Amino acid sequence: MTGDRSRLRNFVKKFIGTVRFGNDHFGAIMGYGDCMIDDNVISSVYYVEGLGHNLFSVG
């Protein structure tokens, strides 16, 4: 997840739902796209309006 829309390529603007954080706050997932980090691509990264930090989960 990222709050920085400019990091996403091939962005699809679509309200997907909400995400709930550990502090019981909610964020709106307003779309998704591909995030480029150096020569690597992370696909289907959610754009969460107002998110202050990028979150990445492996599992």
pLDDT in tens, 30-48: 999 999 889 999 999 999 9
Residue 13 confidence (pLDDT): 97
Q: What percent of the chain has pLDDT over 70?
A: 100
Residue 8's H or E segment, with its range, is strand 8-20
Asked if residues 51 and 27 have their Cβ atoms less than 8 Å apart, the reply is yes
Q: Tell me the C-alpha distance between 52 and 48, whole Å.
A: 9
The one-character DSSP state at 2 is: B
Mean pLDDT of 2-22: 95
Q: H or E element: which one contains 36?
A: strand 26-37
Look up residue 43 and give its amino acid: S
